[in-house]
């Protein structure tokens, strides 16, 4: 590939913000390039694949809108939209606190214990530990010990295992309990971690009442545990990125637009080129100037083509996933890159590059464009004629709904979950249900049943 083709491929992969940065660097080096605030508005229309006669029969469809315009209510104008539109559009907060709050909402806690649990989610340190003593928490949060202990009993069973621990041994013990491996031998091991650190393994084995070989296996298992359960969320606290694509509802239809707030485009300073070309200069200077203006013209065309391709792909994806935008994840249809590539007569790698790292903004929050793709899952070995072909993501959403409504007195087994899916016309094997349940980080029915008995006690 020549350098221009390589750059064109690179442009497809860039987000709007990344493209802005790249263009800023190019503009610094090329005297015939500048940012153009209006050029891109007609970019995608210039590349519209519709036939002329078809386009003439239909009214022109806008290709771009702003984030502020996306937030407007019916009948509302930009003038009276207010300044809180970004807050309305903000995606759910990423990070450990948000993850814990989602689980707390699904727990059996209520009243004062529920409010206290929500409050305690903000008291964890960077490692996921609750360092304050019960007395300090009762004093600071104005709660009684019984309520605190009810809340902590639930909180210490949340994912990731080990959160709300008071110390390292406590953290490791919580993880072992979650794995159903916490035995008296492990209890003695965790109470004597200093011996492990000093290499006094024979003494440690005697305290644990195990052989040297058994102690070796125990140490290997403990070393595989996570002493910092919040570590997986260290990079999750990211500032919400400006979206590349906006999706809004128009009547009964959801439609994709390019975000004109940050969609970059370039302007070729043709007059400057004409003026420079009329001046006397050396052949070397002429070649330099001509090379720059040709580069500027190509870059302008390439950014327009990028906008057109991104819009075509986004609209094809949104058109296919109308049910998702109307009713949620359970309505997500199976869709892979080849489906969109075949529909638009593009190469699959082109669709892949367009989808990469692009953020979609909807009135209810942000999501990655790639999240709208999901493989099909149709019935497995026991597939019947009336079995629906649904996406893997849709099945996970259904399982999450079933389990969220699960009663402590009637814990749902994987077999029962498979039966519930079958009642909705989705025929899949129990082992497939187990795989997706584990993907949701939900424990087995046996573990959930024991946890329910502990809470009841």
d(Cα 96, Cα 126) in Å, to the nearest integer? 10
Give the SS3 label for residue 199: coil
Q: What is the pLDDT of residue 188?
A: 92
CB 359 within 8 A of CB 344: no
Q: Which residue's structure tokens are 């409010």?
A: 115
Give the SS3 label for residue 56: helix
CB 408 within 8 A of CB 108: yes
Mean pLDDT by 10 residues, the chain (457 residues): 69 86 87 69 44 46 80 56 41 64 80 83 84 84 88 91 92 90 91 83 90 87 87 52 87 91 84 83 86 90 91 95 88 89 91 88 82 72 54 86 88 92 87 86 83 67
Q: What is the pLDDT of residue 253?
A: 92
Residues 6+ apart with CB under 8 A from 30: 292, 295, 296
Pairing type for strands 245-250 and 253-259 reads: antiparallel
Nearest CA to 185 among 156, 161, 216, 162? 216
Domains defined along the chain, listed by start: 3-67+246-361 (no CATH), 96-233 (no CATH), 376-456 (1.10.10)
How many other C-beta atoms can be found within 10 angstroms of the C-beta atom of residue 362? 21
d(Cα 134, Cα 145) in Å, to the nearest integer? 7
Q: What is the pLDDT of residue 236?
A: 39
Task: Say if residue 267 is exposed, middle or buried (CB neighbours under 10 Å; 0-12, 13-18, 19+).
Answer: middle
Pairing type for strands 390-391 and 376-377 reads: antiparallel
If phi > 0 it is left, if psi is from -120 to 50 it is alpha, else beta; for residue 407 that is beta
Residues 6+ apart with CB under 8 A from 358: 15, 244, 245, 310, 314, 368, 369, 370
Give the SS3 label for residue 271: helix
0.75 exceeded by pTM: no
Q: What is the pLDDT of residue 311?
A: 94
d(Cα 186, Cα 192) in Å, to the nearest integer? 10
CA 241 from centre of chain = 12
Q: What is the pLDDT of residue 153?
A: 93
């Amino acid at each position: 590939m020549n350098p221009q083709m390589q750059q064109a491929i690179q442009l497809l992969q860039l987000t709007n913000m990344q493209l802005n940065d790249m263009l800023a660097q190019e503009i610094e080096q090329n005297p015939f390039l500048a940012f153009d605030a209006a050029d891109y508005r007609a970019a995608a229309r210039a590349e519209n694949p519709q036939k002329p006669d078809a386009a003439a029969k239909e009214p022109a469809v806008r290709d771009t809108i702003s984030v502020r315009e996306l937030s407007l209510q019916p009948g509302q104008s930009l003038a009276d939209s207010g300044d809180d539109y970004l807050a309305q559009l903000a995606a759910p907060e990423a990070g450990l606190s948000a993850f814990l709050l989602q689980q707390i909402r699904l727990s059996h806690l209520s009243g004062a214990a529920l409010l206290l649990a929500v409050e305690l989610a903000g008291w964890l340190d960077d490692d996921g530990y609750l360092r304050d003593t019960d007395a300090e928490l009762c004093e600071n949060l104005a709660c009684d010990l019984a309520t605190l202990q009810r809340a902590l009993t639930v909180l210490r069973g949340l994912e990731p295992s080990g959160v709300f621990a008071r110390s390292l041994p406590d953290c490791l013990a919580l993880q072992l309990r979650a794995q159903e491996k916490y035995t008296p031998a492990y209890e003695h091991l965790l109470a004597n971690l200093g011996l492990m650190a000093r290499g006094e393994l024979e003494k440690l084995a005697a305290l644990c009442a195990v052989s040297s070989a058994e102690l070796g296996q125990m140490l290997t298992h403990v070393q595989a545990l996570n002493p910092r359960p919040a570590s997986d969320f260290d990079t999750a606290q990211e500032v919400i990125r400006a979206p590349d694509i906006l999706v809004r509802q128009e009547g009964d239809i959801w439609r994709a637009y390019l975000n004109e707030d940050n969609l970059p485009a370039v302007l070729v300073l043709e007059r400057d080129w004409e003026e420079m070309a009329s001046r006397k200069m050396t052949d070397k200077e002429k070649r330099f100037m001509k090379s720059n203006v040709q580069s500027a013209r190509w870059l302008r065309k390439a950014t327009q083509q990028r906008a057109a391709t991104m819009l075509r792909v986004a609209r094809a994806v949104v058109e296919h996933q109308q049910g998702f935008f109307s009713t949620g994840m359970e309505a997500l249809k199976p869709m892979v890159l080849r489906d969109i590539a075949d529909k638009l007569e593009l190469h699959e790698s082109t669709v892949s590059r367009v989808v990469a790292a692009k953020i979609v903004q909807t009135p209810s929050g942000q999501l990655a464009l790639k999240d709208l793709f999901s493989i099909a899952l149709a019935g497995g070995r026991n597939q019947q004629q009336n079995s629906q072909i649904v996406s893997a993501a849709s099945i996970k959403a259904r399982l999450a709904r079933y389990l969220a409504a699960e009663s402590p007195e009637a814990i749902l087994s994987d077999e029962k979950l498979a039966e519930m899916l079958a009642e909705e016309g989705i025929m899949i094997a129990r082992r497939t249900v187990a795989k997706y349940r584990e993907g949701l980080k939900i424990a087995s029915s046996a573990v959930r049943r024991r946890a329910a008995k502990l809470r009841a006690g």
